[in-house]
Amino acid sequence: MKEIILFSSGCPKCKVLKQKLDDKKINYKLSEDFDELVQQNLQTVPVLKVDGEYYQFSEAIKMVNEL
């Protein structure tokens, strides 16, 4: 089972990614702890963290579509 965390601020792109995860019934944790993203030099949300790998919006959408 993959550990999936969605870093979200509730912005429109965040809502799109969240909806895609929900539509596919993918289990994930929702996080607003952006300190972790700053440490990874990621400055925009949404970010999807899957098993320790970080994916920004376009990469995350592509990955979710393939699941």
* Kind plus residue range of the DSSP H or E element containing 55: strand 53-56
Residue 27's pLDDT band, with cuts at 50, 70 and 90, is very high
For the domain spanning 4-66, the CATH number is 3.40.30.10
Number of Cβ within a 10 Å radius of residue 35: 7
pLDDT value at residue 49? 94
Domain ranges of the chain: 4-66
Q: Where are the alpha helices (DSSP H) in the chain?
A: 12-23, 35-39, 57-66
Residue 24's pLDDT band, with cuts at 50, 70 and 90, is very high
Does 40 have pLDDT greater than 70? yes
Q: What is the mean pLDDT of the chain?
A: 92
